[in-house]
Amino acid sequence: MDLQKQPDLQKPAGPAPAVADLRASDADRDRIADILREALAEGRLTADEHAERVEGVLGAKTVGELEVFIRDLPAAHEPRTALAWTPAPNRPTDAIPPDPDDNVVAVFSAAVRKGRWRAGRRIHAYAVFGSVEIDLSEAIFEYRQVVIKAFSVFGSVEVRVPENISLRGTGVGVLGDFQVDTLDSAEPDAPVVYVDGWAVLGSVDAKPRRGKLVADILDRVQRVVDRKVDRSLRKHLDR
């Protein structure tokens, strides 16, 4: 896959691409979808026009392709205020309950949490002569801060997170390996995952899963379309 190829350091870097040529992120698509939703609510777009443009937004690959769908709308020409960005704190700032919302235990076995699941505020993982996998790359984040306490004894705990959140770690390895790849999201309201604990003759490894993002744009767009279609049907029935 081209996105996974490392750049050739021996070749001189070329000119920086124009903003319009940059790959679009899910946050970019969210912004365009929000503008289209407002335009539909204001009567600037018909339901058919909105549906057609939303379909194009979901398939757009670059920022320039996204801008095409809103260039005739006033919101596209309003200046955007830059948000202040600060790195995530090394310790949770929200009140985290002492008791876990979820225990993931593997004793001479394997335990996995992955797919579309709801991540609580505190998760405890225990791997004793076993392996634990906690994959948050497709999880639903109901809280902005999530703490994972990982304990590994002759075992392994693997944590994977979306690449557009923040990740922090403060664990200790005792004759073992406790490794957390620090990650800072560019989005100020992105979730923060804190991995703590220890590894004794075992390993704890936390890092982002590349290509996975926190985004529910498809669900949000579908809900918006359903509401607008329902409203249009009610208008026709009232005539």
The DSSP 8-state label assigned to residue 41 in this structure reads H
**C-alpha distances in Å from residue 90, one per residue of 15, 87, 153, 167:** 36, 9, 25, 9
Nearest 10 degrees: Cα torsion 69, 75, 79, 81: -100
Q: Is the pLDDT of residue 9 over 50?
A: no
User: What is the Cα–Cα distance from 162 to 29, expressed in whole angstroms?
Assistant: 17
Strand pairing partners for 194?
Answer: 147, 168
What pLDDT, in 10s, does the model give residues 126-174? 999 999 999 999 999 989 999 999 999 999 999 999 988 999 998 899 9
Instruction: Name the least confident of 41-45, 136-140, 223-227.
Output: 223-227
What pLDDT, in 10s, does the model give residues 59-117? 888 888 988 999 898 877 766 544 455 778 888 888 888 999 999 999 999 999 999 99
